[in-house]
Amino acid sequence: MIIQALAFYLFAAITVASGVMVISARNPVHSVLFLILAFFNAAGLFVLMGAEFLAMILIVVYVGAVAVLFLFVVMMLDINFTELRQGFLQYLPIGALVGIILLVELIAVVGAWVVAPEAGLATSLPIPPPDQVTNTQALGEVLYTKYIYLFQTAGLVLLVAMIGAIVLTLRQREGVRRQNIGEQVSREATVEVKNVPSGSGI
């Protein structure tokens, strides 16, 4: 129980600190790195609660979505990629700090399993009988039955947010030829016949 309490306080403290750094960092790249760190630590808290499926979803889906979020930030702020590549050494300390923290946490979790295997989730949490539903199945039944309308509403909100981000980042550039479907459809003559004399060529 002491190891689980220490792991909880470690994950919780780093999650809160990462959340504060996400909103206080002036550089958007630093904010993205701290956001990834916050997601990983929140996944660790889910594992401590026995919700391993939510932990994996948080890492696979949300950390993957951070890349899309970073793409929108780059598009909306019009960050120069050349300057971003030149400033790689500037972002290296923050990235190294995040990587070292994640490495220390992984070593702590694996070390706790090796040193004190009785503190693992397999023995500390009650194992459900085979006739009961699993964690993933129970979550799916609740999400798609009791909260189906809220789930669909969340999907619509995300769709509107995605369309809004695309509209905000769409730029009209001069000199770029675009397809005008209405003008193409309203054309009267699409094929013009030329009377070329024999032997003169085109």
**How many angstroms separate the CA atoms of 92 and 103, rounded?**
16
For the stretch 156-172, pLDDT in tens is: 999 999 898 888 877 76
Q: What is the distance between the alpha carbons of residues 36 and 40, in angstroms, rounded to a whole number? A: 6
Report yes or no: 22 and 97 within 8 Å, Cβ to Cβ: no
Tell me which residue of 98, 7, 75 sits closest to 46, measured CA to CA.
Answer: 7
Residue 72, φ and ψ in degrees, nearest 5 = -65, -40
Average pLDDT, the chain: 77
- What DSSP designation does 3 have? H
Number of H helices, E strands in the chain: 10, 0
57 within 8 A of 119, measured Cβ to Cβ: no
Query: pLDDT tens digits for 38-87?
Result: 888 898 888 888 788 888 888 888 887 776 777 676 666 665 656 655 65
End-to-end CA separation in angstroms for the chain: 89
